[in-house]
Structure 1
Amino acid sequence: MVLFALVLAVCGGAVVTTAVFEAIDAARPFEVQGTTVTAAADVLRGGTWIGALERLAVFGALAARWPEGVAIVLAVKGLGRYPELRAQEETARAHPGELRSGAAERFIIGTMVSVIWAVACVYVAFAPYVVGER
Structure 2
Amino acid sequence: MSAPLVALVVVGALALSVGGGWPVVSLVLRLASRSSDAGRPRQATRHAHAADPAGTAAATTRPAATPEAAPAATAPDGSTPSPLAVSDGPEGEGARAVLRGGTWVGILERLAVTGCLLLGDVGGIAVIVAVKGLGRYPELRENPGASERFVIGTLASLVWAAGVGYGAVALLA
Tell me the TM-score normalised to structure 1 length.
0.81
1:38 aligns with 2:81: no
1:125 aligns with 2:168: yes
Q: What is the RMSD computed on CA atoms of the aligned residues? A: 1.7
Q: Deviations over 1:51-103 (max 9, x none)?
A: 000001111111111111100000000110000011114xxxxxxxxxxxx31
Q: How many residues align?
A: 118
State the SS of the aligned residue for 2:96: helix
Answer yes or no: is the 8 Å Cα contact 2:118–2:165 preserved in 1: yes
Is the radius of gyration larger for structure 1 or structure 2?
2
Q: Which residue of 2 aligns with 1:5?
A: 13
For the residues of structure 2 that align with 1:72 and 1:59, how far apart are their CA atoms?
A: 13
**Identity of counterpart residues, as a percentage?**
46
Q: Deviations over 1:8-60 (max 9, x none)?
A: 10111111001001011123398532412111111111100000000011111
Answer yes or no: is the 8 Å Cα contact 2:32–2:38 preserved in 1: no
Tell me the TM-score normalised to structure 2 length.
0.63
Q: How does 1:50-65 map to 2 (within 5 A)?
A: 50-65=105-120
Query: Which consecutive residues of structure 2, in runs of 5 or more, have no partner in the other structure?
Result: 1-8, 43-87
Answer yes or no: is the 8 Å Cα contact 2:30–2:91 preserved in 1: yes
Change (3 A) 1:29 1:7: same
For the residues of structure 2 that align with 1:87 and 1:30, how far apart are their CA atoms?
A: 19
Query: Which consecutive residues of structure 1, in runs of 5 or more, have no partner in the other structure?
Result: 90-101
Structure having greater relative contact order (Cα 8 Å, sep ≥ 6): 1
Q: How does 1:1-134 map to 2 (within 5 A)?
A: 1-28=9-36, 31-34=39-42, 35-39=88-92, 40-89=95-144, 102-130=145-173
Change (3 A) 1:53 1:30: closer
Change (3 A) 1:76 1:16: same
Give the AA of the match of 2:91.
T
For the residues of structure 1 that align with 2:39 and 2:128, how far apart are their CA atoms?
A: 32
